[in-house]
A and B are shown apart, each in its own frame.
Chain A
Amino acid sequence: MKSTGRYRLFINPIIVACITAGTTFSVRTIAAESDTTRDAQAREHLKAAEEQYAKGEYLAAIDECYFAILEKPDFFEAHYQRGLAYLARHEYDKAIRTFDRALAIDPKSARALSDRGFAQGAKGRFDACIADQEKALAIDANLPRAYARRGAAWAAKSDPAKARQDIDKALSLDPSLGEALCDRAMLKAMKGDISGAATDAEAAIRAEPRLARGHWERGVLWMRQGNGVAAGTCLDEAIRLDPRSADAFLARGQLQLAAKEYEPARDDFSKAIALAPKLAVAFAGRAEAHKRLRETAAAKADLEMARDLQPVDPRTKRRAVTTSTLPPRFELLSAGVDPDRQTATVTAARKIDALVAANYSTHAVEPMPRTDDSQFVRRIYLDTTGRIPTYKEVNAFLHSRDPDKRTKLIDELLGSDDYALHFFNYWADVLRYRDTLGRDVRGEPWRQWIKQSLAENKPWDDMVREMLTAEGLAWENPATGYLQRDPGMTLDVVNNTVRIFLGTRIGCAQCHNHPFDSWTQRQFYEAAAFMVGTGTRVGGGDQRFFQEDPVRRLRAEFAALEQEEEDRRQRSYPFDRHVTVNMMVVHDNVAKKLALPTAYAYEDATPGSVVEPKVLFGPELRPEPGETPRQTFARWLTAADNPRFALTIANRLWKRSFGAGQIEPEDDMSDSTVAENPALMAFLEALMRDVDFDMKEFLRIIYNTETYQRQAYDQEVAAGTPYHFPGPLLRRMSAEQAWDSILTLAVFPVEYREPPASLYAQAVAVDLEKQSAEDIVTAQQKVAEFDRLCRDMQKPYTYKGNLLARAAELPSPLPPNHFLRMFGQSDRELIQASSTWGSVPQVLFMFNGQISHMLLEENSTIYKTIVRKKTVHDGVEAVFLTILSREPSKEESAAAIKEVKADGPAGYGNVVWSLINTREFLFIQ
């Protein structure tokens, strides 16, 4: 073992054992060393690197260079030597980066320039190769390699005359330059001079016996000459010298194929593919081998790959077979409401109106008048789809003479994808959705599950039951996201669950009897006992999941993986995390019991004693055979006869529609809670059961009531006084409604959709019992590729750094200075932490933020609407209809026309900017 330098160590068996055991250990340390010592150590590492390189141990050479660079960061020779080793390993991108660093230290190094050019050429960038060779030659006009490489680049650019001239020049300067001899051999072979080529290849082998390429060329030439045995010998030698040469494996595969040795042929092609994943001809070869071995499916897949990878034909600009290149998007499948229920819907709506009206007389309330069509169309779009209607949509509605147009529009909007996006924003706020759930588990699968459940109108009780009972990995069963949100926090989860779904706060009783309600600490623990056995992560030693601990095995395998030391150091933590993410499995241990706290202070139980699960209210519940306590709990919670489940969701949806609940606040009910209109609340609760927790149908009924269709209440409602619903309350748009509405003015339709989580699932999943450390490294790369794909997909939809996507498609939580956060979107830490309060930074955003200026750009939706109008009068009217969904008053029209006539297009800009800065724009009437 070489000198370890200072704190670092090489991997040797003893250390592997230590790592495997999961231990870290201190190492001998040396007090601060002088620069001369560090210099000496760096040189020592370089010397070792050169030795390893000469032996063909390129990885070890790279590590030695890395150590040398750690000692002396600006050590040119170490960077350069490392670059050479990358070249030998065919890692051309890394080679280019390394030579870049070397050249930053010494820009006048002809060899570094020439070698970087070589790597560029190997990546197919022939002009860059030629440019680098010319720079090298400007510094050293007699550098044989530079001529040879420029010649090779010319050959690749189909200019054999120039190529031959350069290669001859190289050989005149150095007749034993293997690289140039190989190049000349290829040029000769291209012209059909096989024996001449063979002479050059043999000369190359004599001159540089360790040059794999010489053996490979000789082998290929032997194949052309029909001598399979000699070809085989040469190719074996080429592979021995360079086990990372895809070309050599490919050639040997073809040789085996010709010799009808299909299995070895298939294996050689596989190796070629592993080394060069885009080598179409290797896929074609393996397809043939598979076919001969009667592996039909594999043969078909390989053939398709081969076709896809075929280079684009420059004349037709088409591949032989085109495949879909559309960016993948998560598409919603939205269900509409049931047209056959129309009569029942209207009957229920009239019943609600009657109950509200009865209350008006009781409390002497004067109801608001019915909305006009402008007010209605804007409100129903905002409430159902989360955005204002477009100019076209407003006009279509205002001009329709259909007496049922309101009812029809309600049905249409409830069936649109926008419904799911809008209600996702609400539930994300309630459920505290974020993109990273506990311990690196990603939220996308759950997010898309919520959206799709809303879109397809999954009954609310089913949706809740699925979340509460889900088992497995987050990407296999996305409903587990609900429990993965708070791993290891059983008591908090129970508290939140009861609050969200049953509108009841038992949190106080977590620590002591509830001071204002009837809940005792014991009751809290009894409820929590249902969930205590639920875990979110399985251990490697858990025999229900693993026969032997995969973590130990995988760590040991990782430590032994052939990779650069620098990479090993940087990758070890991400590797462990990837393993852990694959162990984040929601599961139940039914034997686990919950004990009261040791400081339990009440008389009814002994501190620390075990509590049995018991429901909070309603009749006692017997577990069904085979049911886990969690399943029993979910069955109780979501039962139609649970006294608060239907009540809570009915009240929540009522509040969504009117701005105030029948019961306020919606998640703090107690035995003494009385609704504003008890008869109405009872009806709504029963209705929720009648429609089988169909949320779209419930909303459809509410939207069809006269009560909902009244104008927004125009008086102040004093705090603490009950609201009797003379109409909906005037509400400020939610942050998401404001953002989505501005987007509607700028880029309608908003095309961007998040990529499907199924792609993430395919990338991240590994079978810990069967797969190797190498597979996990591959999976990590695939996740990185998925992330790259997501970023690439966003680029065309980005305006000055802002992704122009519906709020429901944006990351969560957003940074605090994002428009949505400024306007009150939650940071997703607390239940319903969003707010609709104003602030000065909000106003500054509306004044000067990029988003408001986007509206004034020439290709914005509103701009395009205006330019089609022939007169200023029509243009101004269109602006008002687009932004406020109504026509301007005479006074407004006059002011706007005056402005446009005075300033021209800039005047339109001022009118648009001013209208989105009105309070009327931000509030929902």
Chain B
Amino acid sequence: MREYASQMDALSRRHLLAMAARAALGVGMVPAIGSLASAAPAVRKGKAKRLIYLYMAGGMSHLDTFDPKPGAESQGETAAIGTNVPGVQVGEFLPILARQCDRLAIIRSMTTQTADHEQGEYLMRTSYEQIATERHPSLGPWIQRLLGRHNTTLPDTVLIGASPRHPAAGFLDPTFSPLPIGDPNKGLENTTSPSYLTEQSFAKRMELIDTFDRQFRRRYPLQAVQSYTDFYDQATHLLSSGELKAFDLREEKDADRDRYGRTSFGQGCMLARRLIEHDVRCIDVTLGGWDMHNSLWDPATLPARAGLLDQAVGALLDDLAARGLLDETLVAVATEFGRSPQVNYTGGRDHHPAVFSAVLAGAGIKGGIAYGRSDADGHGVDEDGVDPADLNATIAAAMELPREEVVMSPTLRPFKVAHDGTPIMQLLS
């Protein structure tokens, strides 16, 4: 047994060395290990080719957004409003999404056990519980690992506004690491040369590098050194390629940018759309500020936060649909837990993992459905409980990912995308 393990080790290490030579933004990238193994990439018929994952950090109140309980004592001040789907209501602060409800599959029976933000977010993003000895990958890197690399010039996964604790590529090697974007308005950083640097002087600098480095490269003809030379070539190539525009929101009209809302999240959603248009496979946008322990109905708290979610996602779905991209793109809205039906004495709601809501829309998903049910005052699951692994399994099924494929971590533990969760078949188109 031990011999087998060291063989596997050596095998994966050889792969890693090959990967090291071609990492990151991946210009000139070879397909990843998964598809190398299967020689030819599997033919994919599924509708969802790409994923936009919108994460509501802090715990989005289900009662005040996608699961209102009109008339219940727990409802507080938020009124329920009708949608374009008969019999489905949402909170009054989501008027735009209410008109697009036929595109949405609302899951009202999400449930977990953890009321801790960090652990909850980790579980939601990875399907696994957070432990101190292993780090599991999030969805984007999982997709790249299972299906191979998709985009030949841009990264497969882009994180917009994610926290430093985002599980990112987890135990997968750094070539699967998502590209983080802090401020969507700035786009991809370090791509603008200082103003004094002309194209000519840039070329001269590249020549100088070559002269100064020649002796060293001759002395050390090693792969690790060569790989850096490749990265320099790729970076130079990228800077002169048109693909960088994908990251530049200034290419958009002001009126269009306004439609998404001039917030970090609004602009992040717009950047997500641009990246989808440039065939980036997975974009993950985070909207924080949902941890509303105090004064939830203060205009600056829930109404404001829900309002900017409504505006940004509304514009995103409209734009994707108008470009025909909603038929290829799955959009998910997720959060770590809901908020308590009881209003606390500071006028807020506390952490509530027993039941909460998530939303799916777009490719591979049937719209106009409210799936699962919470009980009368939104306290627990009444019907069809869905845990984070089930939600991720549904996403995986909509994208036709091989959910049974086992991927070994470097510590030789076996893992699967969505951790054996059960997809919600009723929601899949």
Contacts and interface: CB of A to CB of B under 8 A. Distances in A.
B415 interface: no
Contacts of A845: 190
Nearest to A27: B343
Interface string B208-231: 110111011101111111011101
Interface stretch (B97-105, B129-137, B249-257, B269-277): B129-137
B45 interface: no
Given A26-B341, A496-B132, A830-B135, A844 B190 contact: yes
A24 B340 contact: yes
A839 B25 contact: yes
Contact of A920 (B4, B135, B216, B235): B216
Interface residues of A, number: 92
Interface stretch (A177-185, A330-338, A399-407, A812-820): A812-820
Contact of B225 (A508, A569, A730): A730
Contact of A495 (B2, B133, B189): B133
Nearest to A836: B224
A63 interface: no
B216 A919 contact: yes
A25 B254 CA distance: 47
A29 B77 contact: yes
B1 A24 contact: no
A903 B1 CA distance: 65
A845 to B, nearest CB: 5
In the complex, which of the residues A499, A732, A838, A911 has the most CB atoms of chain B within 10 Å of its own CB atom? Answer: A838
A913 interface: yes
A72 B340 CA distance: 26
A32 B77 contact: yes
B299 interface: yes
Interface stretch (A1-9, A117-125, A225-233, A381-389): A1-9
Contacts of A570: 294, 346
Given A29-B75, A496-B132, A835-B174, A891 B211 contact: yes
Contact of B76 (A29, A906, A911): A29
A492 B293 CA distance: 32
Given A26-B342, A919-B213, A7 B180 contact: no
A830 B231 CA distance: 27
B220 A923 contact: yes
Contact of A569 (B191, B213, B294): B294
B24 A26 contact: no
B24 A838 contact: yes
Given A719-B17, A913-B205, A914-B209, A9 B345 contact: yes
A95 B167 CA distance: 45
In the complex, which of the residues A9, A817, A845, A899 has the most CB atoms of chain B within 10 Å of its own CB atom? Answer: A817
A838 B215 contact: no
B87 interface: no
In the complex, which of the residues B2, B14, B168, B188 has the most CB atoms of chain A within 10 Å of its own CB atom? Answer: B2
A716 B222 contact: yes
A54 to B, nearest CB: 28
A910 B132 contact: no
B interface, size bucket: 35 or more
Given A814-B164, A839-B174, A918-B212, A847 B2 contact: no
A848 interface: yes
B27 interface: yes
Given A516-B4, A906-B196, A919-B229, A840 B235 contact: yes
Interface in B73-104: 73-77, 79, 92
B342 A25 contact: yes
A920 B159 CA distance: 32
Interface in A552-573: 568-570, 572-573
Interface string A828-848: 011101010111111111011
Interface in B148-184: 159, 162, 164-168, 171, 173-175, 177, 179-182
B316 to A, nearest CB: 23
A840 B342 contact: no
B284 interface: no
Interface string B333-368: 000000011111111101000000000000000000
Contact of B132 (A492, A844, A848): A492
Interface in A2-34: 6-9, 15, 18-19, 24-27, 29-32
B204 interface: yes
A840 B233 CA distance: 9
Given A32-B92, A824-B174, A848-B191, A24 B24 contact: no
A104 to B, nearest CB: 15
A808 to B, nearest CB: 18
A847 B235 contact: yes
Interface in A296-350: none
Contacts of A891: 211
21 contacts: A24-B340, A24-B345, A24-B350, A485-B132, A495-B133, A496-B132, A499-B133, A507-B133, A508-B413, A712-B220, A714-B220, A720-B10, A816-B180, A817-B182, A838-B20, A841-B190, A844-B189, A848-B190, A895-B211, A896-B208, A914-B212
Given A840-B25, A844-B238, 19 more contacts: A8-B347, A24-B344, A29-B77, A489-B131, A489-B132, A516-B5, A570-B346, A573-B293, A720-B14, A730-B225, A814-B164, A815-B180, A827-B165, A839-B177, A839-B231, A841-B25, A843-B231, A910-B204, A919-B220
